[in-house]
Amino acid sequence: MIKLGNQEKIETWKPDETTFSKIQEIKKFVDFVANLEFANKENKSKAIEIKYLIENVHNPETHKNWNVCLDIFDREIQNGIEKEGFYWRKWSVYFEMERLEIEAESNHTADDLGHYGNDFSYYGVIYFGKDAKGERIYMDVDINEFIEDSMNYKKYITESLNDIEIDIDVWENKNRE
């Protein structure tokens, strides 16, 4: 971070046109989650702000932390009832600490650390920090496959994996306060 008078200039990497264009695809996911029947007025309002932040991701001065998540879970397993099966399916996009992270995974009681079986899984990350260690951009599949799978979330609902929640939030970066 560089101080210029009363203003701070955050030193970050700016995405090239191709990467910037791919990042813009995330707005489809934001719209989808914000328009689900269980989204409230506050969710919709935050989604509008997040779309603005995505549109301006190449401008470090607009960076804030944010997330958009769609989760399906088994409330019984989460409340400690022991049984076997899928207990959580999630699609999430986070922008936190100058890092954009996109993830879809299933959690199963037999392997609670992430992807299980032959269901769709996705992991992508883009580091915006000036001095990224290692690979700056990693996406194991096209972002549109992540979005398409999330839009078909109902195919993952079962008799027990049936509680749906969304989380849409925006908060300030701590290093700017």
List the Cα angle 88/92/96 in 5-degree steps.
Answer: 130
pLDDT at residue 158, rounded to an integer: 92
pLDDT at residue 108, rounded to an integer: 85
Alpha carbon distance 77, 163 (integer Å): 11
pLDDT in tens, 106-122: 888 887 566 667 778 89
% of the chain beyond a pLDDT of 90: 58
Alpha carbon distance 90, 36 (integer Å): 15
Q: By residue range, what is the domain housing residue 86?
A: 2-176
Report the first-to-last Cα separation within the chain, whole angstroms.
13
pLDDT at residue 8, rounded to an integer: 47
Residue 64 has pLDDT above 80, yes or no: yes
Q: Residues 79, 85, 91, 93: is their CA dihedral positive or negative?
A: positive
Select, from the ranges 3-7, 8-12, 153-157, the one with the highest average predicted confidence (pLDDT): 153-157
pLDDT in tens, 12-62: 788 888 889 999 999 999 999 999 999 999 999 999 999 999 999 999 889
Average pLDDT of 53-77? 94
Higher pLDDT, 1 or 140: 140
CB 165 within 8 A of CB 73: yes
Residue 129 has pLDDT above 50, yes or no: yes
Total number of domains constituting the chain: 1
pLDDT at residue 103, rounded to an integer: 96
